[in-house]
Every structure is written in structure tokens, then in C-alpha cells.
Amino acid sequence: MQPFHVFSDAERDELRGVLGAVAGNPYDGYEDFARAVAAAPAPAFFADICRRIRRERDEGISDTHVLRDCPMDDDVPELELDDPVADKYRKKRTFVGEAFLQMFSHLAGTPLMAYGSRNNGDFFTDVIAINRYSGMQTGFSDSELVFHNDRTAHWARADYIALLGMRCPEEEVIYTTFVSGRSLLACLTEEQQEALRKPDFYTPFDVFSRDTNLRQQISEDHPILENDHSFRYVETHTTVTPGAPAAAKDALIAMKNALWRADKQRHRLMRGDLLLFANQDGLHSRDRIEILDADRARTRWLLKTYSFRDQEARDRYAGRWLGGVPGRIAD
């Protein structure tokens, strides 16, 4: 993916100065932190970037964007991988990265979401290898990841995902690959699409979700294709329900084939890169292209947010907030 914008040194320094002056700790008091970011004087050039990204999304021009040389914390600690979340709480004492993601969300009109059962309900989570999940199919592993949506099996799923490169070893070649829902749709016949729109499929939860919430084992029966071009699917995991008609099984095979014929975009996240992409209107994967030092590759750390498409999308879950905090799903 080509960068949508590369911050100049002057832009990065100006924005970092604004973000660094925001008071509060997003892990101890998210609502106060979010209000402080909203009150901060966003530079006009950044507000314009956010509006242009929102317009490209709304007009169907692009579901993916890359910002490069973004403002970052001066000190990015190396996290202990038995429990990197607890170690982040201990070591990370500045929150420029979090303020940057929060300000983008505010200016783009895409409210953040969080899960009460994941990372203590944090709105800023991590894509990082946790030792006990090594080699497993979860974002908290050191493995490749098949094409998927985040939280496919969950009843509440983000519309957009943001990934900010905090620690990205330059010697290790790891790509994020995205295939848009529109590209997938173009590879499926009308009959196949019709079959995929029926609730004849289900998806098991990933191992991390099962470990952190015993209620999360298997999704309800669901369609794979929703809305115009939203796909609810995890490659090699989503399958047909018992007793599903032959048309559903044939459509699932067609879906697998379409996934490999459809056009794709790839980006190698480096430190200071912000990668933004649609979570439901597309699928993404993690591809480990060349790993020279497995231990070094495992230190890769991306700061991540989930977000709703807009305020209206968030309001659909009103009454499901944990502790009354808007956006924090009580699951």
C-alpha cells in the first residue's frame, strides 16, 4: 500500500508537541484521557488528513490508508512476553501513541470500541507475541495468521482497525495483507452470494478469546456475506452448520477460491507507520516473509484500536456498555 501521507519533520514535531501535552493515563482513566485529547488543539493539517480519509471511506474510494513517520513516544520499552500487558502498565509512562490514535478517531468521527473481557477493557490494545500462544492462530502469537476479521465469532465487531508500529525490527520482513469485500464480491456469482447470505455457517472463537471469557466458544449461526460487501469469515475455521444444504457447502468452497483470486494489498509496517483498514468490509492476514531471528521478530509490537464506523453505529450497542462507558462492550 502506498502511503496516504508522510509527515514532514515539522508536522510530526508539531503534532507530537500537542499530543505530548495531553494529561492523563488511558489505562487508568480512559474517559478523562479521551476528553483531554478532544480538547487539545489539533493542527489543521492533521484535521484535514482525517477528513480526507473519512471522505474516501464514505465514497468507496479506499478502505485502506497508511500514514508514515507518525508522532511517537520517545521511549518505546521492550515488553516481557509472559505478560506484556502488565509489563506495558509498568514501563510505558508516556502516551503519545495512544493520544495520536485517539485524536485520529475523534477527528475522523469513528468512536473507539473495547471489550470488557479483553486486556482489562482497554481501548488501546497490543498486537504482540505472548509466550503461551506461540504458534497458535491468534493475534497474540508469533505465527502467520490466515485471512480473517478481528473477533469474527463475536456479536460485536469493529468496523475499522488501526495499527501503529511501535517496535518493528527492520531486519524481519512481516506483511499485513488486505483483501477488500468488493474484490471478493466480484469473484462470486449471484447464486453463490445468495447462499453466503444465509445463516448456514459458524465460527469458533480463537484460543485467546476462549481463555479470557469462558462464554466465548462458538459463534451463533451466521451468514458469511452481510450488508453489501461485508464478510464474516476466518479461513480454515468458519464452516457450515450441521445439516446445512449442499448450496452452503458449495458456496463455502467458492468463498475459499475467491479469496485467492481476489486482488490484494500488502503493507510492511515499520516504526511510526499507521495502517488503517476496514475490519468487516474486507479480510486481512499476517504474512511472515523472511524471519532472520525468531526471537527478535517476537518483539514486534503494534498498538491497536478498534472503532465503529460512526456515532450511529456505536449507538446501536447502547445499553451494552460495561460500567456505563460508551464503546466498552460488556461481553
User: What is the rounded average pLDDT for all residues in the chain?
Assistant: 95
99 pLDDT above the threshold of 90: yes
**Poorest-confidence range of 6-10, 66-70, 96-100, 117-121?**
117-121
Question: Which phi and psi angles does 264 have, rounded to 5°?
Answer: -135, 155
Q: Which residue has the cell 483470486?
A: 261
Q: Is 229 annotated as a binding residue?
A: no
pLDDT given at position 297: 95
Share of the chain above pLDDT 90, in %: 89
Q: What is the pLDDT of residues 243-261, one digit of tens each?
A: 999 999 999 999 999 999 9
DSSP 207-269: HHHHHH-TT-SBPPPB-SEETTTEE--BTTT-EEPTT--HHHHHHHHHHHHHHHHS--EEE--
138 pLDDT above the threshold of 80: no
Superfamily of domain 5-329: Clavaminate synthase-like (3.60.130.10)
Question: Rounded CA gap, 307 and 279, in Å?
Answer: 9
Give the burial class of 46: count Cβ atoms within 10 A of its Cβ; 0-12 exposed, 13-18 middle, 19 or more buried. Answer: buried
What's the pTM value of the predicted model, to 2 decimals? 0.96
DSSP 20-72: HT--S-TTT-HHHHHHHHHHS---HHHHHHHHHHHHHHHTTS-SEEEEES---
What residue ranges do the domains of the chain occupy?
Answer: 5-329
Q: What is the pLDDT of residues 203-248, one digit of tens each?
A: 998 877 777 777 778 899 999 999 999 999 999 999 999 999 999 9
Task: Cell numbers for 14, please give them.
Answer: 508539531
Question: Rounded CA gap, 81 and 130, in Å?
Answer: 5
Q: What is the pLDDT of residues 4-16, one digit of tens each?
A: 999 999 999 999 9
DSSP 124-143: SEEEE--GGGTTSSSTTSSS
263 pLDDT above the threshold of 90: yes
**Poorest-confidence range of 32-46, 52-66, 95-109, 135-149?**
135-149
DSSP, collapsed to helix, strand or coil, labels residue 169 as coil
Question: Rounded CA gap, 15 and 121, in Å?
Answer: 27
Beta partners for residue 218, in sequence order: 204
